[in-house]
Amino acid sequence: MNAPPARLADPYADAEGRLRAERVRADFPILEREVHGRPLVYLDSAASSQQPRAVLEATEHYATTSHANVHRGVHTLSQEATAAFEAARESVRRFINARKPSEIIFTRGTTEAINLVARSWGGTQLAAGDEVLITYLEHHANIVPWQLACAAAGARLIAAPLTPAGELELGAFLELLGPRTKMVALAHVSNALGTTLPVAQVIAAAHERGVPVLLDGAQAIAHQRVDVQQLDCDFYAFSGHKMYAPTGIGVLYGRESLLRAMPPWQGGGDMILSVSIAHSTYNELPWRFEAGTPNISGAIGLAAAIDYLEALGRDRVAAHEQRLLLLATAQLAAIPGLQLIGTAREKAAVISFTLRGVHPHDIGTILDQEGIAIRTGHHCAMPVMTYYGLAATARASFGCYSTEADIERLLAGLERVREVFA
């Protein structure tokens, strides 16, 4: 009998099975560039992550070999494009463990996914006196669409309070979840504070009252395992560009029974079965919610990003980012005058902070001179800034390619900021 083939060593794991971030970095061409004469330190993955070569090559391969419109042509290129596009949908289904590909709707991103639900579900299910329950830490994408839907229906938008550490006040949330609540919509992970929300308890409590739950997964999807069946959420929204895929592609997962009852929200090609001047009939799920030519290349890039993340190992990436979070949190907290904004027990790799006497924009500008990219401002989450009496914070966020060396450069950069403002 032949000996079994030796298992190929996993290039992304070290001897202890931990992520080899230096190896990961080699997959991201942009990380080779310099900014202001210094090697780039990219600590803004929560705003938009970078793309590995595998994603860049997948979209280039599609554009150079198979590009055509989908669902429309009998010709070979259109059939190839359609097959790749629908295969991407199946990749997403598998990635988040949805039951069926028909529960996966491609959108431009998280924002469009939440708008779809607010407009289509909210437009038919909300009535005067109803309430939509969110939290104070939501991104504007999970506030404004609900304001629009509530205004149209005469419903009210209610926000649940937070603790000083940036956690959801679960008791207060449960009190707000009342007979008028028709929808609960909350972030899985906060972009401004890094808090991971207690979504299991929230979903169980909402479902006890027959209330559906939408999770804004923009900041969770690349940083932890997401299983929509295990979560038992009704809607889950995320963006490709925060999980190493291109911009302009995102996903709305919806529970089939809810999606089936929802009317189309945009009209046009591909979402119909028949059209006359007097009347139209609509396509099956998921295409009923995908009017017009979709972002075919983006969907293919997203599928490549999924393959890439799975090759790295999602749990391994999460463990790596948690290690960096702990390390950076301890070191930043030791800087005189630095205040961490958001110190929840359960956090993703996002660190918001202020530095006494220095405007966050000045921190960002000086760090940029050092080649370090962070985000500064209100992070499109103005209510949470107001909640804590802040106009802005500086925010460093990590991804699979972040390293301890990045944290060292950040600390040195902040030392420079303190020198300038001494």
Nearest to 310 by CA among 96, 151, 43: 96
Would you say 150 or 381 has its CB closer to ligand C6P? 381
Task: Output the smallest distance, CB 348 to ligand C6P, in A.
Answer: 10
Would you say 212 or 217 has its CB closer to ligand C6P? 217
The residue type of 113 is A
DSSP 256-288: HHHHHHSPPSS-STTSEEEE-SS-EEEPPTTGG
Structure tokens at 349: 């790799």
Would you say 48 or 79 has its CB closer to ligand C6P? 48
Report the distance separating Cα 223 and Cα 315, nearest Å: 8
Would you say 219 or 283 has its CB closer to ligand C6P? 219
Active site residue 380: yes
Would you say 81 or 168 has its CB closer to ligand C6P? 168
Structure tokens at 156: 């009210």
**Residue 317 in contact with residue 223, Cβ under 8 Å?**
yes
**Residue 151 in contact with residue 132, Cβ under 8 Å?**
no
Task: Output the smallest distance, CB 210 to ligand C6P, in A.
Answer: 26
- Going by C-beta distance under 8 Å and a sequence separation of 6 or more, which residues neighbour residue 273? 280, 281, 282, 283
Structure tokens at 420: 């300038």
H or E stretch covering 230: helix 228-231
**Residue 103 in contact with residue 285, Cβ under 8 Å?**
yes
Query: What single DSSP character describes residue 138?
Result: -
Question: What residue ranges bind ligand C6P (CB under 6 A)?
Answer: 46-47, 109-111, 139, 141-142, 187, 191, 216, 218-219, 239, 375, 379-380
Task: Output the smallest distance, CB 352 to ligand C6P, in A.
Answer: 10
DSSP 291-335: -SS--HHHHHHHHHHHHHHHHH-HHHHHHHHHHHHHHHHHHHHTS
User: 3-class SS at 216?
Assistant: strand
Task: Output the smallest distance, CB 240 to ligand C6P, in A.
Answer: 8
Task: Output the smallest distance, CB 295 to ligand C6P, in A.
Answer: 13
Query: What single DSSP character describes residue 39?
Result: E
Catalytic residue among 150, 233, 380, 400: 380
Would you say 59 or 219 has its CB closer to ligand C6P? 219
- What b/e readout covers 8-39, taking b as 16+ CB neighbours within 10 angstroms? eeeebeeeeeebbbeebbebbeebeeeeeeee
Task: Output the smallest distance, CB 216 to ligand C6P, in A.
Answer: 5
Would you say 120 or 376 has its CB closer to ligand C6P? 376
Task: Output the smallest distance, CB 136 to ligand C6P, in A.
Answer: 13
Catalytic residues: 380
